[in-house]
Amino acid sequence: MKLSIIILAAGQGTRMRSGLPKVLHPLGGRPLLGHVLDTARRFDNVALHVVVGHGADRVCDFFPDPAIHWVIQEQQLGTGHAVAQVLPAIPDDHTVLVMYGDVPLIRKETLGALQVIALNNEVGLLTAKLDDPTGYGRILYAADGSIAGSVEENDATGKQRRLREVNTGFVAAPAHHLRRWVDALDNNNAQGEFYLTDIIALAVADGIIVRGVNTKDRNEVLGVNTRAQLATLERCYQQRQAMACMEDGVTLIDPARFDLRGRLVAGQDVVIDVNAVLEGEISLGSRVSIGPNVVLREVTVADDVTILANCVIEEADIGAGTRIGPFSRIRPGTRLAQTTHVGNFVEIKNSEVGAGSKVNHLSYIGDTSIGRNVNIGAGTITCNYDGANKHRTVIGDGVFIGSDTQLIAPVNVADDATIGAGSTITRDAPAGELTLSRAPQETRKGWQRPVKKK
């Protein structure tokens, strides 16, 4: 039997106090709804229906997936009303599972347990025991211990409010039953809304068993209503990420100070020091060491690379045995070959650095090809921009560039050339020769320092 998942995401999220629709706020660098959709997509044979209302256009535009059936709920008249908007599109022989766009950490395995119950022609309801159940619906039991209903906090008696087992909202049911119960909902309640949760009592009245699944991991049922809750869930999510990395064999010096906003693939014996922020797709080879406060975004790193403290590396390819930092900035389009050294206060953009070459101190290398075994002296600048266009600098193998050199692009420095320190190189430098531009040094005999006037 096929599965239809309905994701409710029409609410405004007033308490976020944001111009952004709530379900687009990022968790681990990805919108809340993206997490929910990813979990939903892991089911086989699944039809995805997302109910949107506030900011519907922006939400739909963010997920250009033709497999998603978007349903607009013009007025938010309650969770039952939201589900009612989708049911006409769902065949009777489907199982329906209801999820929430703002509850991002729910696990597929937990939802699978609800699905199994619904496949058995019963209703699967996810519940949780919370220390503080404030704001949630409470689960009501009959004398024989079976679930009898769910009461919203605003409609609950004082005694019911003291119950700690809450309705998480996640529910699975056969479509043909659900249709009947949703049609029968009314809004005669404290909030004047059509409560989806009222289907529980309707199912019981129909003689259909409602079976509770109790989750022990509270985090997976936590929703985001405020920025404080978003921050709490971010930590939960990052804890999960950190655990998964460590299970894969990565050493995290402090898993509480690790942020992965994307996906990490790592070889053996990778060590990541504190406060690393990894974004997008990151691939690290074996025995890679990442120092404190390093930011990596869309980076591929080969084996035996050491990245020292405080480096920022984006959209770059780092060859085996290379050492970077501390305090290096590697910008998009950069490829460092094997065993290169890039040191402190060096910025490299859109450039290749050949095997064994060194750029160790205080340099800017932009739009440049550097050959093998090149030494770039401290303070070397490639002047790649004339105010209108960018130009390339080409440096051959075995070149030695003296300190404080400016290379005015476009310019070539051929193999084994040496550039004298302090030069401004405006024309190509020939292979194997010393090229320098330097004003002659003079000494003024007897020159006196000025003295301060009284």
Q: Is 441 exposed, middle or buried (0-12, 13-18, 19+ CB in 10 A)?
A: exposed
Q: Does residue 364 interact with ligand UD1 by CB under 6 A?
A: no
∠ CA 178-74-21, rounded to 5°:
100
The whole-angstrom distance between residue 216's C-alpha and the CA centroid of its chain comes to: 26
Q: Does residue 8 interact with ligand UD1 by CB under 6 A?
A: yes
Backbone φ and ψ of 108, nearest 5°: -60, -40
Binds ligand UD1 by CB under 6 A, chosen from 127, 168, 340, 405: 168
Is residue 25 annotated as part of the catalytic site, yes or no? Answer: no
Question: Per-residue b/e over 83-97, b at no fewer than 16 CB within 10 Å?
Answer: bbbbbeebeeebbbb
Exposure on the CB side of residue 420, measured as CA atoms within 13 A? 8
Instruction: Between 154 and 426, name the residue whose CB sits nearer to ligand UD1.
Output: 154
Tell me the two tokens of residue 236: 């939960």
End-to-end, the C-alpha distance of the chain in Å comes to: 99
Instruction: Between 32 and 429, name the residue whose CB sits nearer to ligand UD1.
Output: 32
CB of 197 to ligand UD1, least distance (A): 4
Binds ligand UD1 by CB under 6 A, chosen from 33, 82, 175, 185: 82
Q: Does residue 101 interact with ligand UD1 by CB under 6 A?
A: yes
Q: Is 181 exposed, middle or buried (0-12, 13-18, 19+ CB in 10 A)?
A: buried
Distance from C-alpha of 275 to C-alpha of 254, rounded to nearest angstrom? 8
Instruction: Between 102 and 279, name the residue whose CB sits nearer to ligand UD1.
Output: 102
CB of 187 to ligand UD1, least distance (A): 10
Residues 217-256: x where in contact with ligand UD1 by CB under 6 A, - otherwise, as a string:
------x---------------------------------
Q: Does residue 166 interact with ligand UD1 by CB under 6 A?
A: yes
Instruction: Between 224 and 414, name the residue whose CB sits nearer to ligand UD1.
Output: 224
CB of 22 to ligand UD1, least distance (A): 7
Strand segments, DSSP code E, in 42-191 are: 46-52, 68-72, 95-100, 123-129, 137-141, 147-151, 165-174
Instruction: Between 223 and 354, name the residue whose CB sits nearer to ligand UD1.
Output: 223
- Which residue among 54, 69, 176, 361 is the active-site one? 361
Residues 186-205 that bind ligand UD1 (CB under 6 A): 195-197
Q: Does residue 100 interact with ligand UD1 by CB under 6 A?
A: yes
CB of 100 to ligand UD1, least distance (A): 4
**CB neighbour list of residue 428: distance below 8 Å, 6 or more residues apart:** 411, 412, 413, 414
User: What is the helix (H) or strand (E) element at residue 280, kind and residue range?
Assistant: strand 276-284
**β-sheet bridge partners, residue 3:** 46, 95
Instruction: Between 10 and 316, name the residue whose CB sits nearer to ligand UD1.
Output: 10
Q: What is the dihedral of CA 72, 47, 244, 267, to 10 degrees?
A: -110
Q: What is the rounded radius of gyration, in angstroms, for the C-alpha atoms of the chain?
A: 31
Residues 26-55: x where in contact with ligand UD1 by CB under 6 A, - otherwise, as a string:
-------------------------x----
Instruction: Between 73 and 241, name the residue whose CB sits nearer to ligand UD1.
Output: 73
CB of 168 to ligand UD1, least distance (A): 6
Q: Does residue 10 interact with ligand UD1 by CB under 6 A?
A: yes
Distance from C-alpha of 199 to C-alpha of 178, rounded to nearest angstrom? 8
Residues 119-158: x where in contact with ligand UD1 by CB under 6 A, - otherwise, as a string:
-----------------xx------------x-x------
CB under 6 A: which stretch of 163-171, 177-185, 247-255, 341-349 binds ligand UD1?
A: 163-171
Distance from C-alpha of 53 to C-alpha of 429, rounded to nearest angstrom? 65
Distance from C-alpha of 91 to C-alpha of 45, rounded to nearest angstrom? 14
CB of 104 to ligand UD1, least distance (A): 11
CB of 140 to ligand UD1, least distance (A): 12
CB of 54 to ligand UD1, least distance (A): 8
Instruction: Between 27 and 320, name the residue whose CB sits nearer to ligand UD1.
Output: 27
Tell me the two tokens of residue 111: 């939802």
Q: Which residues are known catalytic residues?
A: 361
Residues near ligand UD1 (CB under 6 A): 8-11, 51, 73, 76-79, 81-82, 100-102, 136-137, 150, 152, 166-169, 195-197, 223
